[in-house]
Structure 1
Amino acid sequence: MPLITTPAGIAVYYQTDGSPDGKPLVLLHGGGAQLIGWDDRFCALLVDAGFFVIRTDNRDVGLSQATGGPDDYEATYDLADMADDVVAVLDDLGVESAMVTGMSMGGYIAQLLALRHPSRVSALGLMSTSLTSAPEFLVGEHSGEPVAFVPPVLDRDAYIAMFIGGQRNYQSPGFPFDEAASAELGGRYFDRAYTPTGLVRQWNALLRGPLERREEMATVTVPTVVIHGRGDQSLHWSAALETARVMPQAELHLYEEMGHDIPVELWPEFVLALARTAGRADA
């Protein structure tokens, strides 16, 4: 799959699944996550539902460009720049507009894409994300301060152990944690592209803002599906209620069993919700 250079000079890698004749659907993952974090089996279900699936590695992770060196934690960009990266991918594919679905930080990027490039977004899928970083919608401790240190470089086994621990912290409380699957994905992440400072730079880019988007997002009228778990360990499920309140065409789906992840048990429901929202856009 292609590695393109955006107008801003950033190398961005993307991958597609399904026929280009399908409904274009962009999947944007969260902080530090590579495009393979969207499971191939989930993407196959989306293809079966009629989608042309487009997955990207956000800059600073995966096979996309690392914007700094191994001793560099500072971000020279913000999430709006990452939204512009997605437009470059759509241009490369000749896609005029697409449904854009983002998970966590990917949901922030999707929002900015809809605000900055409204003609390129036919519908939105907002998963485990928020329109604001206001404290009442956050779970746990969030200092809001940039990270100012370089993370340690780990060997493969240590990285996989760290990866499993991170996934366990955000797992859906209503479903069993699959440690073997987590270890397998962690190994694939490490082997594909290990960039220890990538997540740090992405987090610092997120803090560059905009951190408050409610007023602007109230003007976005494309069909939107909001998916969130009541067991989310990062963003409180009330953030989804707020999104549904603010956005005029939002359809809300709350799941008691779901955390800050994409549990396999709910894939069929997610596919149906995304397909229905894309259908609303067609109508």
Structure 2
Amino acid sequence: MADFPGEIGAVPIVSGTPPKLAFRIVREETAVNVGPTGIEIAYQRFGDPADPPVLLIMGGNAQMIHWPDGFCSELIARGLHVIRFDNRDAGRSTHFRDAPVPDFAAALNGDFSSASYTLADMADDTVGLLDALDLDSAHLVGQSLGGMIAQTVAIEHPFRVRSLTSISSNTGDPKVGQADLSALASLGKPAEDREGYIDWMVKATRLTASSPGFPFDESTVRATTALAYDRGHDPGAFPRQGISVLAYGDRTEKLKHVKVPTLVLHGSADPSVEGGRATAAAIPGSKLVIFEGMGHNLPRELWCTIANHIADLVHSAEKPA
């Protein structure tokens, strides 16, 4: 593993943060030959490596930088060692640009031949990163597609998971909790140029965010989208990630066998909120928390509360049986 020649990020100071965690400079790194397919994974580590490891798995059309530094800092302040990374086809990890163009119409009819990988492969990537970091297991926190990946790791590699937090996600059941893309359809296709794409993403994010429950932070969305565009914009990546979900199929029955401590978080203003309820119903003993007014995002006003829920789960799971 070597330093990745990218931007240097900084974790902001959080009120009450112990001195050892105050303002640490973190450089991107890359893990090579990860998982069965031998891909590269870009990642960052925050906090004290002696603390329980928490692996943050981001959603579709998003990168590790979409886990806000401030939210990472909230987790660190609660005694957690945070690792965030770019999934395959995201940011500075390996992209599959030469893969077939996904045929969603065929996939919805059961033909997945245009899928170049499935959620199982993305779960293998996640476990491969744990191997590269010499971690026998970790606490997984996934949002949206990241929640699906985290669930799949718990299904396929149960002994690598200490606890599972699924945020704004679903079970893969096509009848429950699926994303409502009708509003986005009104925006047309995303622009290809940098400024046009940023404008499109601001509009798209506004539609899926927590407004009016929480203020919409347009300046942060613009800045994060600009950085994401520069780190590895790939118009074909989101469709490739999306069809991987369909190719893996409904996870409901498999989730019934998940035995790790599980937390399911969702927003009441998220059109896919029933997906959260279905996830909690499928995983035995899981805890469901619905945040009033939260959409398909992580409002700054809830960072502290969400971090508390995650930290409580992690520290509880770390206690000897």
Question: In the alignment, which residue of structure 2 is the partner of 1:167?
Answer: 205
Structure 1 residue ranges without an equivalent (≥5):
143-150
Q: Which of 81, 95, 99 lines up with 1:66 in the alignment?
A: 95
CA change 1:246–1:70 in 2 (3 A) is closer
Question: In the alignment, which residue of structure 1 is the partner of 2:232?
Answer: 193
Could you tell me which amino acid in structure 2 is paired with residue 5 of structure 1?
Answer: N
How many residue pairs get matched?
272
- Separation in structure 2 between the aligned mates of residue 44 and residue 213 of structure 1, nearest angstrom: 32
Q: CA deviation at 1:89?
A: 0.7
Pairs within 5 Å for 1:236-275: 237-275=273-311
Could you tell me which amino acid in structure 2 is paired with residue 216 of structure 1?
Answer: K
Task: Say which structure, 1 or 2, has more relative contact order (CA 8 Å, 6+ apart).
Answer: 1
Residues 83-107 of structure 1, C-alpha deviations (whole Å, 9 max, x = no match): 0001111011111111101100111
Q: CA deviation at 1:162?
A: 1.2
Question: In the alignment, which residue of structure 2 is the partner of 1:3?
Answer: 31
Q: Which of 238, 241, 244 lines up with 1:205 in the alignment?
A: 244
Residues 167-208 of structure 1, C-alpha deviations (whole Å, 9 max, x = no match): 111101301111111111111111111111111111121221
Is the partner of 2:214 in helix, strand or coil? coil
Is the partner of 2:287 in helix, strand or coil? strand
Q: Which of 234, 238, 262 lines up with 1:224 in the alignment?
A: 262
Question: In the alignment, which residue of structure 2 is the partner of 1:278?
Answer: 314
- Separation in structure 2 between the aligned mates of residue 242 and residue 77 of structure 1, nearest angstrom: 25
- Separation in structure 1 between the aligned mates of residue 286 and residue 52 of structure 2, nearest angstrom: 20
Q: Which of 117, 124, 142 lines up with 1:77 in the alignment?
A: 117
Residues 142-166 of structure 1, C-alpha deviations (whole Å, 9 max, x = no match): 8xxxxxxxx7761110110111112
Could you tell me which amino acid in structure 1 is paired with residue 206 of structure 2?
Answer: R
- Separation in structure 2 between the aligned mates of residue 207 and residue 132 of structure 1, nearest angstrom: 8
Pairs within 5 Å for 1:58-137: 58-69=87-98, 72-73=101-102, 74-137=114-177
Q: Percent identity?
A: 37
Verify the 8 A CA contact 2:170 2:178 in the aligned structure 1. Answer: no
Is the partner of 1:54 in helix, strand or coil? strand
TM-score, scaled relative to structure 2: 0.80
Question: In the alignment, which residue of structure 2 is the partner of 1:181?
Answer: 220
Q: CA deviation at 1:244?
A: 2.2
- Separation in structure 1 between the aligned mates of residue 147 and residue 190 of structure 2, nearest angstrom: 28
Q: CA deviation at 1:21?
A: 0.7
- Separation in structure 1 between the aligned mates of residue 178 and residue 95 of structure 2, nearest angstrom: 28
> Relative to structure 2, which stretch is displaced further, 116-125 or 8-17?
8-17
Q: CA deviation at 1:252?
A: 1.1
Q: CA deviation at 1:22?
A: 1.1
Is the partner of 2:248 in helix, strand or coil? coil
Q: CA deviation at 1:72?
A: 4.5
Is the partner of 1:135 in helix, strand or coil? coil
Verify the 8 A CA contact 1:3 1:64 in the aligned structure 2. Answer: no
Structure 2 residue ranges without an equivalent (≥5):
1-28, 103-113, 183-188
Verify the 8 A CA contact 1:70 1:197 in the aligned structure 2. Answer: no
